[in-house]
């Protein structure tokens, strides 16, 4: 009897809590920001993102909670609109958000495939071997890995670059955990700073570029502020390095066949994407997908010519009596581009989908308009953009930037560059504030830690504040007029 009474009572409670009838606006769309259904959606997002932040503790991939949250948020939004007889509004909004994700996902997929190809061809291993064989002392290694992270990340993205440089430091300074921790902090800061002045350096810069708000070449206005963001904390940390020369590994890494040509094809793909967007006003993903075609054609050429190439190298190894080389040649397998596609960071791509769809759903309910009014109407744009950069150290910069793009505040190009800068480098304030930091924590587990990074947060904040000031001063002429909105 009690269960019989409980079921209709719960149904009535849920219907009342999530009833959208009182939220219809004059234009026919629903404002759900003050409704039970809106609060429920926000709670779902908060719970999901809390699980993302606890990824390292829970050992649960970050895509899982946001995928479920995205589904729930859009389902309850759709249900609310159906109750009001608005049968297609949610569908059109969902498809528009999905299209934005699809363009970015395909672009990133091609970039990841090229990076995986260069890794498989041992391009990064060869770079690491060269650095080790040079026998740099600790202070030189600290600065070299930092500068390489800063200048490689604009092309290879901050995550890949940070992992590469971390591997170098751990190999060279094995056993010196204090130095490795300091170097890893420097690498994360440098990789995030380097990624901020290039559309290819970070997902957030790619989002701004693909949205057509900032032209490709105008991102380079952030070069000097980004460099300041890296140099100031690096300079202070360098005084705490006990300088000595480690023993280097003399191993010479030979790149695999086609490595240099794959690198050129990657650069050609980037050029194709830029040209499509700049000269033809087509989405950059068109050029990148054509670049995937370049990769596939060259992969086909390598497969077809592999037997002849192996036979030639086998003869050379036999003449030289190199049995080790002969054993290696016997284990060579043909290059397969789809193996490289399969090794893309699918968890990251699915996380990206979940976050964009969650934020898009909350925006559809009216929360982003509310946030835009708070940040960009009640506050000035500079304060809002600086604060959002600090927030991105706790909440990943992807939802922060997507929220800003969805709000479409009327700002000057200088302000759009400012939010691009702060969202990119703000994540360096905490080890969990950026994908690069989280990845390096996993690679240098127990050495580069949250609290080890937190100790240097005040120094990193000096770089953050200085980069903002330099941008406001150095690019003063860009803070007139409005872009977007």
Average confidence (pLDDT) over 222-235: 96
Which is more confidently placed, 457 or 280? Answer: 457
Q: What is the DSSP letter of 428?
A: G
Whole-structure pTM value: 0.74
How far apart (Å, rounded) are the C-alpha atoms in residues 355 and 248?
A: 43
Average confidence (pLDDT) over 4-33: 45
Task: Give the tens place of pLDDT for each residue, 56-105.
Answer: 678 888 889 999 999 999 999 999 999 888 888 889 989 988 987 888 78
Nearest residue to 190 via CA among 148, 223, 140, 137:
148
DSSP-assigned letters across all residues of 202-220? -HHHHHHHHTTSS-GGGGG
- Poorest-confidence range of 30-39, 41-50, 51-60, 305-314? 51-60
Q: Which residues contact 7 (CB under 8 A, 6 or more apart)?
A: none
DSSP-assigned letters across all residues of 305-355? HHHHHHHHHHHHHHHHT-HHHHHHHHT-----HHHHHHTS-HHHHHHHHHH
pLDDT over 50 (residue 24): no
Which pLDDT value is given to residue 20? Answer: 42
Provide the percentage of residues in the chain whose pLDDT is more than 70: 90
Nearest residue to 364 via CA among 398, 396, 407, 400:
407
pLDDT over 50 (residue 19): no
How far apart (Å, rounded) are the C-alpha atoms in residues 336 and 443?
A: 27
How far apart (Å, rounded) are the C-alpha atoms in residues 272 and 72?
A: 38
- Gyration radius of the chain's alpha carbons: 25
Which pLDDT value is given to residue 331? Answer: 63
Which pLDDT value is given to residue 294? Answer: 95
Q: Which tokens sit at 17?
A: 């809590």
Which is more confidently placed, 480 or 468? Answer: 468
- The highest-confidence range among 84-98, 212-226, 237-251, 359-373, by mean pLDDT, is 212-226
Number of C-beta neighbours around residue 175 at 10 A: 8
Average confidence (pLDDT) over 450-479: 93
pLDDT over 80 (residue 6): no
Number of C-beta neighbours around residue 79 at 10 A: 13
Task: Give the tens place of pLDDT for each residue, 290-328.
Answer: 999 999 999 999 999 988 888 888 887 777 777 776 666
Which pLDDT value is given to residue 77? Answer: 92
**437 pLDDT tier (thresholds 50, 70, 90):** confident
Cβ burial of 413 (10 Å; 0-12, 13-18, 19+) is buried
């Amino acid at each position: 009897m009690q269960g019989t009474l409980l079921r209709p009572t719960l149904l009535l409670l849920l219907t009342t809590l999530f009833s959208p009838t009182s939220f219809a606006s004059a234009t026919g769309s629903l404002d759900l920001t003050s409704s039970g259904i809106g609060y429920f959606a926000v709670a779902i997002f908060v719970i999901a993102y809390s699980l993302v932040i606890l990824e390292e503790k829970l050992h649960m991939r970050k895509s899982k909670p946001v995928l479920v949250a995205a589904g729930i948020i859009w389902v309850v939004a759709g249900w609310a609109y159906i109750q009001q007889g608005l049968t297609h509004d949610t569908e059109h909004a969902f498809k528009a958000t999905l299209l934005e994700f699809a363009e970015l996902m395909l672009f990133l997929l091609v970039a990841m495939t090229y990076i995986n190809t260069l890794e498989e061809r041992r391009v990064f291993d060869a770079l690491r071997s060269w650095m080790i064989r040079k026998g740099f002392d600790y202070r030189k290694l600290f600065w070299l890995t930092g500068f390489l992270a800063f200048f490689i990340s604009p092309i290879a993205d901050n995550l890949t670059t940070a992992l590469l440089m971390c591997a170098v430091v751990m190999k060279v300074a094995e056993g010196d955990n204090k130095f490795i921790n300091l170097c890893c902090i420097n690498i994360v800061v440098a990789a995030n700073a380097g990624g901020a002045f290039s559309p290819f350096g970070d997902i957030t810069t790619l989002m701004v570029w693909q949205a057509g708000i900032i032209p490709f070449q105008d991102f380079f206005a952030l070069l000097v502020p980004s460099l300041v963001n890296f140099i100031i904390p690096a300079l202070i940390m360098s005084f705490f390095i006990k300088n000595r020369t480690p023993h280097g590994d003399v191993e010479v890494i030979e790149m695999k066949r086609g490595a240099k040509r794959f690198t050129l094809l990657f650069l050609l793909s980037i050029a194709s994407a830029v040209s499509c967007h700049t000269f033809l006003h087509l989405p950059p993903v068109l050029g990148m997908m054509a670049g995937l075609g370049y990769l596939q054609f060259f992969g086909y050429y390598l497969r077809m010519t592999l037997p002849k190439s192996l036979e030639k190298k086998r003869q050379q190894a036999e003449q030289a009596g190199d049995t080790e080389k002969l054993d290696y040649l016997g284990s060579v397998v043909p290059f397969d581009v789809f193996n490289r596609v399969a090794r893309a960071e699918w968890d990251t791509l699915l996380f990206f989908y979940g976050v964009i769809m969650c934020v898009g759903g909350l925006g559809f309910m009216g929360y982003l308009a509310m946030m835009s009014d708070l940040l960009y109407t009640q506050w000035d744009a500079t304060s809002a953009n600086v604060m959002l950069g600090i927030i991105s150290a706790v909440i990943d910069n992807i939802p922060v930037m997507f929220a800003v793009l969805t709000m479409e505040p009327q700002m000057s190009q200088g302000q759009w560059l400012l939010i691009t800068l702060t969202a990119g480098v703000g994540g360096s304030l905490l080890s969990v504030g950026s994908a690069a930091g989280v990845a390096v924590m996993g690679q240098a587990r127990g050495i580069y830690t949250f609290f080890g990074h937190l100790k240097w947060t005040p120094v990193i904040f000096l770089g953050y504040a200085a980069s903002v000031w330099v941008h406001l001063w150095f690019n003063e002429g860009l803070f007139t007029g409005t872009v977007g909105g």
